[in-house]
Every structure is written in C-alpha cells, then in structure tokens.
A = this chain, B = another copy of it.
Amino acid sequence: MIIRRMQRIREAVVLILLTICSKAANSKAHWWRPETGEAWGYCLSWRLAVEANNIRAWRTVPTECLRHVETYMIGGQYERDVTLIVDNIWNYVDTITLSNDGFDAWILDVDDTCISNLFYYRGKRYGCEPFDPLGFKAWALSGESPAIPDVLRLFNKLVETGFKVFLVTGRDEQTLGQATIENLENQGYFGYQRLILRSGAYKGLSAITYKSAIRKQLVGEGYRIWGNVGDQWSDLQGECAGNRTFKLPNPMYFIP
C-alpha cells in the first residue's frame, strides 16, 4: 500500500518535472522571468535597441531591467558577445595587407573598450543610477579598471601586426591623464602609438564632435584608419570613422 502510494507520488513528481522542463524550454517562458516580476522580454528588446542605436540619449537603465543587465554583464553573455566581436575583428585584420610606410592605423576607445568599469557600475546598480561625475572621477583616479581580456588580446595582435594603435578617450587630460596611463600600463597595454585624452580645447564638446576632430587630425597626418572599436556609437560616428567600425556592447550608460 505504502509502496504503491510512493510510486504514485514519484510518477506525479516526474510529471511535474517534465511540465516544468517543457515550460523552461518553451520560448515564452524563456524570455520572461515571472519569479522576479521583471519583464525579461522587454529588457531584451531595450538592450537590443540600445546596441542597434535605435534608442539614444538615455540617462539611466530602466529600473525594471536592473536584474537583466546584471545577469547580462556578470552571467557570461557579455563576455561571449565581446569574444564573438573580437573574433570577427581578428578575421578582418587578417585580410588587411599593411604597407610599410608606418601609416596603417587603428583606433580603440578606452573606457569599457580597453579597460572595464564594470566594478564601478556594479555600485551604481549597473546604470540604473544616473551618471555621477565625482564618483566616476574617483574611480578613474584609482587606476583599478581591469583590462577586457579579448580587447587586450586584439590590441597585442594589432601592435604585433604593425598597426599604429591610437587610444582615444573622452577622459579629461589634465585630471585623469596620469592615472589613465598608469592604469593602461598595469593592465598590460604596451606599445600603443599615442594615448589621446580630451584637452582643454575640446572641453564640453560631444564625443562625436571631439573624436571626429581627433580622427580628422590623424588622417591629416597621413594615417589610414583601418578599424575603430568602441562601446559607444559616438565613438564610431562622425567624420573619418574608419574603414570598419565595431560596436562593443554596453547596456550601462550612454555618451552622446
């Protein structure tokens, strides 16, 4: 009697498990996380729209997407996305025939391209809190941003291949120059041609305007910009953007 009852319970358990598994495999359940009450599907759409440059000038991550962005950034998918893009850049680099004149150039952004500010943004609820200039300055001065491994790997390949690599950042030259140089060094970025920070002349300009002007100067010096990699669309738009541009993911903040 007991055994039969146990048998029935076991069967019921298996049935429940199968139902749950099939629910989990079902796409609708997959996109939605009812256990947090969060609109997972909405946040997937929001993040895709950000990466495809459809949503612009957003100030903060939608609060309901906190868990989504956290999971994305630290759960493995962000790294996976970066790896796939870097692998594609790698393939593109392999198609380029360099001249011997020393003017084959490549541009990399710094924040959340070469080095990661994830630890900082963790404390800012992954971008659910508005930008905090003083907080970010303190973080940048600490020089503790770790390298993004795949980008460091790409950087080393570019340098070894013979590209002149320019690191172009919107960071303020006067206050953050030294800390940025040291941070890049302590993370293994050696052999770049120039680190270009925002000098007084470009203060207050949008990233598109400032970075366009820098790139225009480089082209004026005779450089051919083969590639340009950044985590913001404002790194990749405007004049002299480069022969190919590559957008790394960043769902935590927007720079115009």
Please give the residue numbers on chain A whose beta carbons come within 8 Å of chain B beta carbons, in ascending order. Answer: 2, 5-6, 9, 13, 16-17, 20-21, 24-28, 30-31, 33, 35-36, 41-42, 44-46, 48-49, 51-55, 71-72, 74-77, 80-81, 83-85, 88, 245-247, 249
Contact = CB atoms under 8 A, between A and B. Distances in A.
A76 B28 contact: yes
Given A21-B35, A28-B75, A80 B41 contact: yes
B6 A55 contact: no
A77 B6 contact: no
Task: Tell me the interface secondary structure of chain A in the complex.
Answer: helix
B51 A52 contact: yes
Contacts of A72: 27
Contact of A27 (B46, B48, B77): B77
Give the copy number: 2
B33 A71 contact: no
A31 B247 contact: no
A85 B45 CA distance: 8
A39 to B, nearest CB: 9
B9 A45 contact: no
A71 B247 contact: no
B85 A49 contact: yes
Contacts of A88: 49, 54-55
